[in-house]
């Protein structure tokens, strides 16, 4: 549920240019949640492989963090 709400906020707020301040907040919340899931996955297995969801969670967390970092700079300069 949180991922779906975050995805809607990431895309719709900047696309419609209404309440675009929600975009960096959504990306930040998604980053925190994804890294928490990565830590949960790491508690089960630290093996680096395609089948381990921890690898994908870390990659997605880094991408969501990059979006949050870029959007904070864009919205705070107004």
1-52 confidence digits (pLDDT tens):
777 777 777 777 777 777 777 778 888 888 888 888 888 888 877 776 667 7
Q: Could you read off the pLDDT of 52-68 as tens digits, one per residue? A: 777 788 888 888 888 88
Query: Angle CA(49)–CA(52)–CA(57) in degrees, nearest 5?
Result: 115
Per-residue pLDDT, averaged over 70-76, amounts to: 70
d(CA 53, CA 74): 32
CB count within 10 Å of CB 1 equals 5
d(CA 13, CA 19): 6
**Is the pLDDT reported for residue 76 higher than 60?**
no
Structure tokens at 26: 């959504």
CA dihedral 36, 61, 69, 17 (to 10 degrees): -100
């Amino acid at each position: 549920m949180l991922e779906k709400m975050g995805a809607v906020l990431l895309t719709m707020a900047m696309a419609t240019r209404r309440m675009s301040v929600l975009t960096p907040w959504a990306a930040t919340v998604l980053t925190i949640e994804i890294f928490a899931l990565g830590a949960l996955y790491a508690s089960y297995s630290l093996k680096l492989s395609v089948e381990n969801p921890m690898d994908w969670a870390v990659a997605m967390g880094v991408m969501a963090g990059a979006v949050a970092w870029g959007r904070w700079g864009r919205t705070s300069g107004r």
